Amino acid sequence: MSFIVVIPARLASTRLPNKVLRELAGEPMLAHVCRAALASRAERVIVATDSTAIADAGQIAGAEVAMTRSDHSCGSDRIAEVVTTLALRDDQIVVNVQADEPLMPVVLIDQVGQALMDDPGAGMASARTPIVDAADFVNPNIVKVVSSASGRALYFSRAPIPFHRASGNQEVMGLGYRHLGIYAYRVAALKRFSAAPVSALEQHESLEQLRAFDLELGIAMVTAAQLPGPGVDTEADLIAVARLLEGPGSA
């Protein structure tokens, strides 16, 4: 079994208009994302969008393009439309690569796709990395994940989990894992996930992935072999990522 990559992309970005088409090292941001996806083991790479400008950029970068509705509230819903339109098999694995992650490592795309191939009972897969900074462990903007011995996610939270009772969380190094927001789905699981209402846990924590627990969709977790570079949300992020792409000595 293999996997495909779908890159959901839209122009509407509040903090950075036309974000995925902004130039980075002489190319649109989307081109860098497509290049990483095309270098992975994916059998197909598809840009899912409602924008003809994004569609043109995706095709120039070598990806397929699937036009979607413009009313999707999140990337997973946009991908759900694509897998339905393309009539993909229920057991097909789809990796969601975000269009604003131009420094996404190829190896991480492959890892997440492979994690779902290796766990036939799971509906989803995602990635984690050890937390080594105590400040990160208590930061609610950094999502934590606790996994079982078999590698399945048990819970995601903005709270510091697991709680180290003996020290009152004063000794946390090596205990916590940060969740990395890259997902793989089986098509059947993605359709269920997208069609389901927002769950109570999801609403409380403001974490979409918690819906999977109410649906009893197992989430296979893999520890990232290489961390993604910073994503792009603001003009300052764009400048910082451009410098990384252009290499040492860039102004």
CB 105 within 8 A of CB 226: yes
Q: In the chain, which ranges are continuous DSSP H helix? A: 29-39, 52-60, 75-85, 106-118, 134-138, 187-195, 200-205, 211-214, 235-246
Highest mean pLDDT among 12-16, 130-134, 152-156: 152-156
Architecture of domain 1-105+232-242: Alpha-Beta Complex (3.90)
The lowest-confidence range among 15-19, 21-25, 217-221 is 15-19
Same fold, 1-105+232-242 and 120-226: yes
pTM of the model: 0.93
Q: Return d(Cα 187, Cα 91) in angstroms, integer.
A: 6
Q: Count other C-beta atoms under 10 Å from residue 65's C-beta.
A: 18
| CA atoms of 144 and 161, how far apart (whole Å) | 6
Confidence category of residue 173, pLDDT binned at 50, 70, 90: low
Query: Chain-centre distance of CA 65, in angstroms?
Result: 19
- Are 155 and 146 in contact by the 8 Å Cβ rule? The answer is yes
Angle between helices 29-39 and 52-60 (to 10 degrees): 50
Range of weakest confidence among 8-17, 26-35, 47-56: 8-17
pLDDT at 70 (0 to 100): 82
**249 vs 187 pLDDT, higher one:** 187
**What integer pLDDT is reported at residue 250 of this predicted model?**
46
What was the pLDDT predicted at 163?
A: 78
- Domain segments of the chain as ranges: 1-105+232-242, 120-226
**Quick one: DSSP state of residue 163?**
-
Q: Let me know if domain 120-226 sits in CATH 3.20.20.60.
A: no
